Amino acid sequence: MNWKFIFNPFLKFSERQLITVGSLAFISLNIVCFLFGFKMDSLLHFNSGKQNSFWEILLQNSGVIALFTLFLWGLGLVFNKKTRLIDIFNMILFTLIPTTLTLLLMGIPYFNQTAEKIANASNHPDAVSKMTLELAIISLFTLFLLPLLVYTIVLLYNGFKTATNIKKWQQTALFFGVLFLLNLIFQILIK
Amino acid sequence: MKLPVQCPSCDETLSVSKLTCHHCQTEISGDYELPVFLQLTQDEQDFILDFFLNSGSIKEMATKAQLSYPTMRNKMDDLIGKIKELYHTK
pLDDT category at B78 given cuts 50, 70, 90 is very high
Q: What is the pLDDT of residues A122-179, one digit of tens each?
A: 666 666 666 777 778 888 888 888 999 999 999 999 999 999 999 999 999 999 999 9
pLDDT for the residue numbered B62: 94
What pLDDT, on the 0 to 100 scale, is given for residue B64?
93
Is A14 close to B70, i.e. CB distance below 8 A? no
* Cβ contact A155:A72 at 8 Å: no
Are the Cβ atoms of A13 and B70 closer than 8 angstroms? no
Per-residue pLDDT at B13 exceeds 80: yes
Subunit contact A14:B78, Cβ cutoff 8 A: no
* Angle ∠(A187,A148,A159) on CA atoms, nearest 5: 75
For residue A111, is pLDDT > 80?
no
Which of A177, A160, A3, A4 is closest to A90 using CA atoms? Answer: A160
How many other C-beta atoms lie within 10 A of the C-beta of residue A127? 13
Average pLDDT over residues A97-126: 80
Q: Residue B50: CB partners within 8 Å, gap ≥ 6?
A: B61, B64
* Whole-number Å distance between alpha carbons of A166 and B77: 11
Residues of A with CB under 8 A from a CB of B: 10-15, 18, 80, 82, 84, 87, 162-163, 165
The nearest alpha carbon in chain B to A163 belongs to B70
In this prediction the pTM is 0.86
pLDDT at A117 over 90: no
**SS3 readout for A131-166:** CHHHHHHHHHHHHHHHHHHHHHHHHHHHHHHHHHCC
Residues of chain A contacting B68 with CB distance shorter than 8 Å = 10-15, 18, 162
Q: For position A63, what pLDDT does the model report? A: 95
Spatial separation of the C-alpha atoms in residues B51 and A56, rounded to whole Å: 48
Partner-chain contact B71 A13, CB within 8 Å: no
CB A10 within 8 A of CB A163: yes
Q: Which of B68, B77, B78 faces A14 most closely, judged by CB atoms?
A: B68
Cβ–Cβ contact B81 with A under 8 A:
no
CA distances from B83 to B41, B72, B80 (A): 11, 17, 5
Looking at CA atoms only, how far is residue B73 from chain A in angstroms? 9
What average pLDDT does range A87-107 have in this prediction?
94
Interatomic CA distance for residues A175 and A154, integer angstroms: 12
State the pLDDT at residue A2.
Answer: 75
Chain A residues in contact with B63 by the CB 8 A cut-off are 14
Cβ neighbours around A124 below 10 Å, total: 10
How confident is the model at residue A129, as a pLDDT?
Answer: 67
Which residues in chain A are closer than 8 Å to B77, comparing Cβ atoms?
A: 80, 82, 165
Q: Which residue of B has its CA nearest to A10?
A: B68
Give the distance from residue A166's alpha carbon to the nearest chain B alpha carbon, in angstroms.
9
Q: Find out whether A86 and B68 touch, Cβ atoms under 8 Å.
A: no
pLDDT of residue A110: 74
Nearest in space to A165 (alpha carbons), one of B20, B40, B55, B70: B70
Q: How confident is the model at residue B52 (pLDDT cuts 50, 70, 90)?
A: very high
pLDDT in tens, A6-55: 999 999 999 999 999 999 999 999 999 999 888 898 998 888 766 778 99
The pairing of strands A45-48 and B15-20 is unpaired
Summarised one tens digit per residue, pLDDT across range B16-40 is 999 999 999 999 999 988 889 988 9
Contacts of A62 by beta carbon, 8 Å cutoff, 6+ apart:
none
Residue A1 has pLDDT above 60, yes or no: no
Minimal CA separation from B79 to chain A, in Å:
13
